Amino acid sequence: MKKLLLGMMGLLVFTMIGCGGNTTAFSFDASRNITVYTRDTTSGTRDAFFTGIDFSDAITSNGVLVANYVEVDGNGSMITSVKNDIYGIGYISLASLETSGLKGLVFDGVAATEANVLNGTYTLKRPFNYMTRAHWSGMERERQIVEAFVAFMTTIEGIATIQNKAGIISVEANTPSWDDIKSLYPVCLEDNSDVTIYFGGSTSVESVAKALSQEFSQKCGNFIAEHNHTGSGDAYKRTQGSEADGGNKLHIGFASRDFKSSESGDEGTSGFICFDAVVLVVNQANTAIDSITKSEAKKVYSGDKTLWSSLNP
């Protein structure tokens, strides 16, 4: 029994060591395994990513992925996980790259920048879309507020906020200002502080959506914006699909991909917000690669290549 106790003491000593210093950077050892991170199957980012690297089987199935993949359930969790694991690789929304503290990889020779998305050379591009409810029985005020919100997203103020959160969109010459069109939405002159609007859907769109709702709430009677982002799959499901009338219902949902044919909403209930892209990321301490090709990415995620050193720099 004494030996067991000594062993436990040893473990505790290690704990003390751990608490003593902060995580000092270890030197990157390229002979290690690649820890593959992926989003869950309802994620629009996952959809866009696997489509973009020609690995469509992996969009809905985890079985074809490398054996020891780690699944995370949101854009933010992906960032945190790869930040904590120097041997990790993952994929995130381009909009969150600059604030993530991670290294974005050059994909097929093209750097992941807004300019390259706009000129079409960066291929992992995808849209941010929205979808609202089709049936608003008993929710007339909410319907009007959401209608105003959708219009707000197309004004200069809205576009500026979207751009500020790194959504990719340009201001056209005749884009109206909110001040120009707000008379069309009288609901915004009322006091809406007892109205809660439910936002949800993609986690990649979450920071854009939150910034927009926060700003617009002030402009439209101070309604309460409640956000519950759980993945692009819920954008249609919770506004017009199977959960549209349950405890999880949303008034407006966001998706980081196009809506599928099984998700066709009613006429006029969905639309485009801005462009975004998916970017492969690794930890800043990763010295093995700065760029990756489509086929290499597929090999990493399918398990054909498992060591950092096996990747062509």
Partner 1 sequence: MIVKIDPEANRRTQKSKRFIWMKHSDRFMKGLLMVPTLMSASFVIFIVGFISRKGIAPFLPSVYGSERVNAFSFLSGTTWFVPPNVYGILFIVINTLYIVALSTLISVPLSVASALFVTRILPKKLQGVFKSIIELLAAIPSVIYGVFGLGIIAKSVVRLAELFHAQTAGGISTLTTIIVLAIMIYPTITMMSVAAISAVDPALEHHSLALGATKVQTMTKVTLASAKPGIFTGIILGVGRALGEATAVSMVAGNAGSGPSLMLFSTTRTLTSTMLLGLKETSGMDYDIRFSVGLVLIGVIFVSNFILAHFKKKVGRFS
Partner 2 sequence: MSLVGVMVLALIMGFIINRGVGLLTWDLLIGDYHPTTYNLSLPTTESLGGFARPNDLDESAFFSQMWGLGLMDDVDFEGKAVVRVIYVDAQSPLQMMRDKNNLERVVGLFPGLALEKVIFSDLTIGLSRTKAENFIILFDTHEGINDLLAVSSGNGIRGAIITTGLLIGFALMIALPIGIFSAVYLHEFAPKNNAFIHTMRKMIDTLSGVPSIVYGLMGAAVFIPFTSRISKAEGGNLFSGALTLAVMVLPIIISATIDALRAVPDDYRKASLALGANHTQTTFRIVIKSAVPGIMSAVLLSVGRMIGESAALIYAVGTAIKDHIILTEKSASLAVFIWSVMAGEVPNFELACSVAIIIMAVVLFINVLIKLVARRFTLLP
Interface residue list for partner 1 (CB under 8 A):
1, 4-5, 8, 11, 14-15, 17-19, 23, 26, 32-33, 35, 37, 40-42, 60-63, 68-71, 73, 81, 83-85, 87-88, 230-231, 234, 242-243, 246-248
- Residue 82 three-state SS: helix
DSSP 214: H
Q: Which does 156 bind (CB under 5 to 8 A by kind): partner 1, partner 2, none?
A: partner 2
Q: Are 145 and 187 in contact (CB under 8 A)?
A: yes
- Residue 17 beta carbon to partner 1: minimum distance, rounded to whole angstroms: 7
- Residue 298 beta carbon to partner 2: minimum distance, rounded to whole angstroms: 28
- Residue 19 beta carbon to partner 1: minimum distance, rounded to whole angstroms: 5
State how far the Cα of 220 lies from the Cα of 34, in Å rounded to an integer.
49
- Can you read off the two tokens belonging to residue 281? 């990321």
- Residue 99 beta carbon to partner 2: minimum distance, rounded to whole angstroms: 6
Q: Which does 74 bind (CB under 5 to 8 A by kind): partner 2, partner 1, none?
A: partner 2
Q: Which does 261 bind (CB under 5 to 8 A by kind): partner 2, partner 1, none?
A: none
**C-beta closer to partner 1: residue 13 or 171:** 13
- Can you read off the two tokens belonging to residue 41? 């199957």
Q: Which does 157 bind (CB under 5 to 8 A by kind): partner 2, partner 1, none?
A: partner 2
Cα Rg of the chain, angstroms? 22
- Residue 234 beta carbon to partner 1: minimum distance, rounded to whole angstroms: 7
Q: Are 94 and 278 in contact (CB under 8 A)?
A: yes
Q: Which does 18 bind (CB under 5 to 8 A by kind): partner 2, partner 1, none?
A: partner 1
State how far the Cα of 232 lies from the Cα of 41, in Å rounded to an integer.
10
Beta bridge partners of 291: 106
Chain residues in the site for partner 2 (CB under 8 A):
5, 8-9, 12, 15, 19, 74-77, 79-80, 98-99, 156-157, 160-161, 163-166, 171, 177-179, 193, 196, 203, 206-207, 211, 214-215, 217-219, 224, 226, 228, 246-249
State how far the Cα of 152 lies from the Cα of 277, in Å rounded to an integer.
23
- Residue 1 beta carbon to partner 1: minimum distance, rounded to whole angstroms: 6
- Can you read off the two tokens belonging to residue 44? 């629009």
**C-beta closer to partner 2: residue 247 or 268:** 247
CB-count burial class (<10 Å; 0-12, 13-18, 19+) for 246: exposed
